[in-house]
A and B are shown apart, each in its own frame.
Chain A
Amino acid sequence: MLLIPCPFCGPRPELEFRYGGQAHIARPENPAALSDGEWAEFLYLRDNVRGVHAERWRHIHGCARFFNMLRDTTTDRILTTYKTGEPRPEAV
């Protein structure tokens, strides 16, 4: 079980969290302006990273906040967590 440092609550066990998929995929400002292909890419295409991955988590059984995390998918090492809206930090 991961030990996840919630940016608001500190380290808490993974059981309190829910995974939220890849981070930094903003919903397009004007979806109507996108072609079917571009929209499908937004909907369905995600990275399958071997290494450091930026992903969303929600502390659903805690403060209920969404936040972002850099995690190495090969070792599960968490490099850092940061608040929604902040830019992706440089990989440590």
Chain B
Amino acid sequence: MPDSLTTTFGTTPAAAGPAREPFRTTAGGRIDRARPLAFRFDGKTYAGVQGDTLASALLANGVHLVGRSFKYHRPRGIMTAGSDEPNALVTVSRDAARTTPNLRATQVELYDGLAAISQNRFPSLAFDVGAINDRISSLLPAGFYYKTFMWPRGFWDRVYEPLIRSAAGLGRVPTAPDPDRYLQRHAHCDVLVIGAGPAGLAAALAAADAGARVILCDEQAEMGGSLLADRQSTIAGRPASAWVAEALAELAGHERVTLLPRTTAFGYYPHNHLGLVERATDHLAAPSTEVPRERLWQVRAREVVLAAGALERPLTFPENDRPGIMLADAAHTYVARYGVLPGRRAVVAAANDSGYRAALALAEEGVEIAAIADLRRAPSGAWLDAARKAGLPVQTGMTVTGTSGSLRVDGVSLASVEDGGEVGATRDVGCDLLLMAGGWTPSVHLFSQSLGKLRFDEALQAYVPGIAAQPIRAAGGADGEYGLEEALSGGQRAGVEAAAAAGVSGASPRVFVTVSPPADTSSVLGALPHPTASRGRDPSRVRAFVDFQNDSTAKDLKLAVREGFRSVEHAKRYTTTGMATDQGKTSNMPMLGVLSQAQGKTIPEVGFTTFRPPFTPTTFGIFAGAARGELFDPARRTPIHPWAAAHGAVFEDVGLWKRARYFPQRHRNGAAEDMDAAVARECLAVRQGVGIFDATTLGKIEVVGPDAAEFMNRMYINPWAKLGVGRCRYGVMLREDGFVLDDGVVGRIAPDRFHVTTTTGGAASVLNMMEDYLQTEWADLQVWLTSVTEQWAVIAVQGPRARDVLAPLVDGIDLSAGALPHMALAEGRICGVPTRLFRVSFTGELGFEVNVPAGYGRQVWEAIHESGQPYGITPYGTETMHVLRAEKGFIIVGQETDGTATPDDVGLGWAIGKAKPDFVGKRSLTRSGMMDPGRKQLAGLVSADGQTVLEEGAQLVGDARMNVPMSVLGHVTSSYYSAVLGHPIALAMLAGGRSRHGETLYVPMPRGLAGSIAPIAVKVVPPVFYDPEGTRLDV
């Protein structure tokens, strides 16, 4: 290990401030050496410069060890220079709330004061007790937890699962709520170009020239892609970087072009709908609170050009995962773009000329190239010639058989491969940097997400975009065009075609005269040749990593094949290869290579797995956007809500509605009533005097037209033809399968006009079902449906004194029992306001529901409340409403019913219009199962001790001494304490319930020690507990 590295792993105190960066070159690259930055990693302060990523700055300080691997806790370093990084995952933290785990150090832009920590290590990165997993790795093969934690059964919940859970996961979630803002916006364009390398820039220019609306996005801070690190090529006679600047300036000048740097296209959805995340402030030392942290762009693009480039493949050889082992192209990027030397003495393992390019760039900066081991038997070409000319030690027909080093690579074992595939004697070469050039893999993730079919290209030994399923075309590296000239011309062609397909054309094609070194398409797949057991090390101890992030090895994949996981989808899941947060960017093709070797099949025969969103991990924040806290859901409030709030109501959510649940009163000592006391008081007030209740949230639908009665006849089980104007009826609606969907009182306002009420939660689905039948089955009926839920405020006045309260307020309405009997309605005025006044009762008492236009709701409510003062009028909430209706045995749809109850099951068989030939659900009621006398039926329950309030949802059994699992007869649907009766009551759905009145059953409840059960004895009674004759209604 070179001396300059030792300080990295030592305990040099940070107090002295950032030191000079020992691995920074003196000139060149796209960084600003005049703007030094200080940052902290694991508590130690380092120096970097503006333009660095966290990875490049760490490398400039000689820090390669940045994390521990997921399963074996092996030391890991920086392997790539981009979003494909599997190893260098860090947590970046501004404070307890602004903490983001699992960020790729290669994508984190450096700012002054940045603080990052490593993950998956304890107590420290250099000494990690979890590394014991690496020593016992032979005990942790693929799927070890399926095979290991099987007995004793009871250990799973208490021992194994907690242990596995604490060991699993990467990083730690923030401990405080996220204070940042996230915005969402929609955008439309003719052509969306993904990736701003040479192909993407050429495509954007061509589409813009044609007059298309263009969005160009790139995940990096700077646009330009591979050109930003290209020091050899010229385009139109200018250096590549100068051409990039000109192209970007030209694009920025187009008013129809939107440039989005720091923006990742993470998801490709149907009909060219793409999700883009723009990181607006993560790169800033002191972000303004005016700017959102991130923006979600939902882009609908007529055409998409995928110019996402290509990713370099790692090589699959033993111990290919040590810090200091890096992709060749990444090393080239660090030198050329960031002015950083990733080491002092390098070995290059190359199956592609990318290795030569990196070696030459490193050598130019003074890095010693100890060996270039070319895996190819007889390579040729300009890059090889240049390397030989520069005097670099090239050996061909080589393989890598292992590496050494604990926290950083310090040596490589190389061996020659003979013609017959025999591996020769190994030679150890000392180094602090090992580069891998395994060839290129087109970045087809988004094409795969778009459901396009990939095609295996034999020449490239890679999958490339094949038949598109949506308007998308690929160009450049993503299309397997690795050369600069092909990328530019391919991008230009894609841009012109995309614009034309979007309906704009008229560009004069540009010609890009380029001078560029030749591109190389050679690559390797699968594990590199390795000596047999007799000559080399014990093969069972050799681990060549395929998926670095999930720690799966070539050996794991071979084991999966031996254990019968033939399908690539199964082998992938069994070994978790490609299933880490990097979505298999570096591991997918090597996995297919190893499976191909193990199964003796070609790559296309092995098959391919599907890439899924997101391309890189995204925050939850962008999906939540502004929908947090108060804005999480819209809240619906009635016009009476402010009055209820001012009178101390406790509210509950019913759908989106806020409903007053009860109105606790203050005791003299200042304490508030609890719910039980408030509800008992409210209940007695209604039974003995009068109560007032806000029923505005009831759904209301106006059914109008010459065929309205016929339509109602078909939709509801009840008969409607003979219902007189000014009369009401309790209606029940079924689904076509015969089960109760909704109920509510329906009033006939005129021969062709019904005022239909629905449950609060069912309004939308009832209207939808009515519209469905009206539009699609009975389009001949002359009927119109209008939701009027929001138009009417509804004030229920219930109790023996209800008539006395309302009488002074109404105008033109006779409230007497003779003129307005139970289930009648009248139109007139109340408090000078038009009203539809229903005489209806959901309490069993004399009752009215006063409908007034919503805008007058509060005014009329207050007038009624005032008028009721002499009678002690008591506002009550939904909880009291529930108790009062349960005392009368009235069901609530969704509480007594659960989507499997027929009208007869809940005691509503009387409502069916027997003479009607048909209605929705009628045919289903005569299926044999629907008429079984053993079906669950509505019944009442009282507890035998006269004081236990049962739990809603509790089960009913016939024999208290049964062993678990007991055979269950039914369940409790509603349960309350009845103040007027002085004992608890409950409703239940009970098998054959109507024939069980008088029986004693049991509610087995868990009590005391786990597993022990204490049954509660209950008596089955009819479901109407109070005033079964209904005498209180007809007064």
Q: How far is the CA of A58 from the CA of B469 in the complex (A)?
A: 26
Is B133 positioned at the interface, with any CB of A under 8 Å from its CB?
A: no
- 14 A-B contact pairs sorted by A residue (CB < 8 Å): A1-B271, A1-B273, A13-B300, A27-B736, A30-B918, A32-B918, A32-B922, A36-B927, A39-B927, A40-B927, A58-B768, A66-B771, A75-B470, A84-B776
CB within 8 Å of B: which A44-78 residues: 56, 58, 60, 64-66, 74-78
Residue of B nearest to A78 (CB): B271
Report whether A65 and B927 are in contact in the complex, using a CB–CB cutoff of 8 Å: no
Q: How far is the CA of A1 from the CA of B737 in the complex (A)?
A: 31
Is B772 positioned at the interface, with any CB of A under 8 Å from its CB?
A: yes
Query: Given B470, B771, B927, B928, which contacts A58 in the complex, CB threshold below 8 Å?
Result: B771
Is A31 positioned at the interface, with any CB of B under 8 Å from its CB?
A: yes
Determine which residue in B271, B451, B737, B777 has the highest number of CB atoms from chain A within 10 A of its CB, and name it. Answer: B271
* Inter-chain contacts of B927 with A (CB < 8 A): 36, 39-40
Report whether A39 and B923 are in contact in the complex, using a CB–CB cutoff of 8 Å: yes
Q: What are the 3 closest A-B residue pairs judged by CB atoms, nearest first? A: A31-B923, A76-B270, A3-B271
CB within 8 Å of A: which B763-801 residues: 768, 771-773, 775-777, 779
Given known A-B contacts A1-B269, A36-B928, A31 and B300 have beta carbons under 8 A apart:
no
Report whether A39 and B924 are in contact in the complex, using a CB–CB cutoff of 8 Å: yes
Given known A-B contacts A3-B271, A43-B736, A58-B768, A32 and B923 have beta carbons under 8 A apart:
yes
* Inter-chain contacts of A31 with B (CB < 8 A): 918, 922-923
Knowing that A64-B771, A76-B270, A78-B271 touch, tell me 12 more A-B residue pairs with CB under 8 angstroms.
A1-B269, A2-B271, A3-B273, A27-B777, A40-B927, A43-B924, A56-B776, A60-B768, A66-B776, A76-B271, A77-B470, A84-B779
Is A85 positioned at the interface, with any CB of B under 8 Å from its CB?
A: yes
* Inter-chain contacts of B924 with A (CB < 8 A): 39, 43
Query: Given B469, B737, B772, which contacts A20 in the complex, CB threshold below 8 Å?
Result: B772
The 0/1 profile, CB within 8 Å of A marked 1, for residues 716-745 of chain B is 000000000000000000001100000000
Is B917 positioned at the interface, with any CB of A under 8 Å from its CB?
A: yes
CB within 8 Å of A: which B331-376 residues: none
Report whether A66 and B736 are in contact in the complex, using a CB–CB cutoff of 8 Å: no
CB within 8 Å of B: which A1-50 residues: 1-3, 13, 18, 20, 26-27, 30-32, 34, 36, 39-40, 43
* Inter-chain contacts of A39 with B (CB < 8 A): 923-924, 927
Q: How far is the CA of A66 from the CA of B270 in the complex (A)?
A: 22
Residue of B nearest to A44 (CB): B737
CB within 8 Å of A: which B889-945 residues: 917-918, 922-924, 927-928
- Measuring CB to CB, which residues of chain A are less than 8 angstroms from any residue of chain B? 1-3, 13, 18, 20, 26-27, 30-32, 34, 36, 39-40, 43, 56, 58, 60, 64-66, 74-78, 84-85
Report whether A18 and B271 are in contact in the complex, using a CB–CB cutoff of 8 Å: no
* Inter-chain contacts of B737 with A (CB < 8 A): 43
Residue of A nearest to B927 (CB): A36
* Inter-chain contacts of B300 with A (CB < 8 A): 3, 13
Q: How far is the CA of A30 from the CA of B918 in the complex (A)?
A: 8
The 0/1 profile, CB within 8 Å of A marked 1, for residues 291-324 of chain B is 0000000101000000000000000000000000
Report whether A65 and B469 are in contact in the complex, using a CB–CB cutoff of 8 Å: no
Q: How far is the CA of A36 from the CA of B25 in the complex (A)?
A: 84
Given known A-B contacts A18-B768, A39-B923, A66-B772, A85 and B273 have beta carbons under 8 A apart:
no
Q: How far is the CA of A13 from the CA of B692 in the complex (A)?
A: 44
CB within 8 Å of A: which B257-307 residues: 269-271, 273, 298, 300
Q: How far is the CA of A11 from the CA of B103 in the complex (A)?
A: 39
* Inter-chain contacts of A60 with B (CB < 8 A): 768
* Inter-chain contacts of B776 with A (CB < 8 A): 56, 66, 84-85
Q: How far is the CA of A55 from the CA of B922 in the complex (A)?
A: 25
Q: How far is the CA of A40 from the CA of B917 in the complex (A)?
A: 19
CB distance from B769 to the nearest CB of A (A): 11
* Inter-chain contacts of B270 with A (CB < 8 A): 1-3, 76
Q: How far is the CA of A66 from the CA of B917 in the complex (A)?
A: 27
* Inter-chain contacts of A20 with B (CB < 8 A): 772
Determine which residue in B768, B773, B928 has the highest number of CB atoms from chain A within 10 A of its CB, and name it. Answer: B768
* Inter-chain contacts of A77 with B (CB < 8 A): 469-470
* Inter-chain contacts of B273 with A (CB < 8 A): 1, 3
* Inter-chain contacts of A85 with B (CB < 8 A): 776, 779
Report whether A65 and B923 are in contact in the complex, using a CB–CB cutoff of 8 Å: no
Q: How far is the CA of A84 from the CA of B778 in the complex (A)?
A: 11
Q: How far is the CA of A31 from the CA of B777 in the complex (A)?
A: 14
Q: How far is the CA of A85 from the CA of B778 in the complex (A)?
A: 11
CB distance from A5 to the nearest CB of B (A): 10
Determine which residue in B270, B300, B777 has the highest number of CB atoms from chain A within 10 A of its CB, and name it. Answer: B270
CB distance from B269 to the nearest CB of A (A): 6
Query: Given A2, A26, A30, which contacts B777 in the complex, CB threshold below 8 Å?
Result: A26
Residue of A nearest to B469 (CB): A75
* Inter-chain contacts of B768 with A (CB < 8 A): 18, 58, 60
Q: How far is the CA of A40 from the CA of B686 in the complex (A)?
A: 47
* Inter-chain contacts of A66 with B (CB < 8 A): 771-772, 775-776
CB distance from B305 to the nearest CB of A (A): 19
* Inter-chain contacts of B469 with A (CB < 8 A): 75, 77
CB distance from A19 to the nearest CB of B (A): 11
* Inter-chain contacts of B922 with A (CB < 8 A): 31-32
Query: Given A2, A30, A43, A58, which contacts B772 in the complex, CB threshold below 8 Å?
Result: A58
CB within 8 Å of A: which B470-526 residues: 470
CB distance from A81 to the nearest CB of B (A): 13
CB within 8 Å of A: which B596-654 residues: none
* Inter-chain contacts of B917 with A (CB < 8 A): 32
Q: How far is the CA of A27 from the CA of B776 in the complex (A)?
A: 10
Residue of B nearest to A72 (CB): B469
CB within 8 Å of A: which B119-157 residues: none
* Inter-chain contacts of B298 with A (CB < 8 A): 1
* Inter-chain contacts of B918 with A (CB < 8 A): 30-32
* Inter-chain contacts of B271 with A (CB < 8 A): 1-3, 76, 78
CB distance from A8 to the nearest CB of B (A): 12
Residue of B nearest to A18 (CB): B768
Residue of A nearest to B272 (CB): A3
* Inter-chain contacts of A58 with B (CB < 8 A): 768, 771-772
CB within 8 Å of A: which B70-85 residues: none
CB within 8 Å of A: which B57-73 residues: none
CB distance from A57 to the nearest CB of B (A): 11
CB distance from A83 to the nearest CB of B (A): 10
Q: How far is the CA of A13 from the CA of B469 in the complex (A)?
A: 19
Residue of A nearest to B450 (CB): A75
Determine which residue in B270, B779, B923 has the highest number of CB atoms from chain A within 10 A of its CB, and name it. Answer: B923
CB distance from B902 to the nearest CB of A (A): 14
CB distance from A21 to the nearest CB of B (A): 10
Q: How far is the CA of A27 from the CA of B774 in the complex (A)?
A: 12
Residue of A nearest to B186 (CB): A13
Residue of A nearest to B270 (CB): A76
Determine which residue in B451, B772, B775 has the highest number of CB atoms from chain A within 10 A of its CB, and name it. Answer: B775
Q: How far is the CA of A58 from the CA of B862 in the complex (A)?
A: 41
CB distance from A89 to the nearest CB of B (A): 17
* Inter-chain contacts of A32 with B (CB < 8 A): 917-918, 922-923
Q: How far is the CA of A2 from the CA of B924 in the complex (A)?
A: 35
Q: How far is the CA of A60 from the CA of B273 in the complex (A)?
A: 21
* Inter-chain contacts of B923 with A (CB < 8 A): 31-32, 34, 39
CB distance from A44 to the nearest CB of B (A): 8
Q: How far is the CA of A26 from the CA of B771 in the complex (A)?
A: 15
Q: How far is the CA of A36 from the CA of B922 in the complex (A)?
A: 12
* Inter-chain contacts of B269 with A (CB < 8 A): 1
Q: How far is the CA of A78 from the CA of B469 in the complex (A)?
A: 12
Q: How far is the CA of A26 from the CA of B775 in the complex (A)?
A: 12
* Inter-chain contacts of A3 with B (CB < 8 A): 270-271, 273, 300
Residue of B nearest to A84 (CB): B776
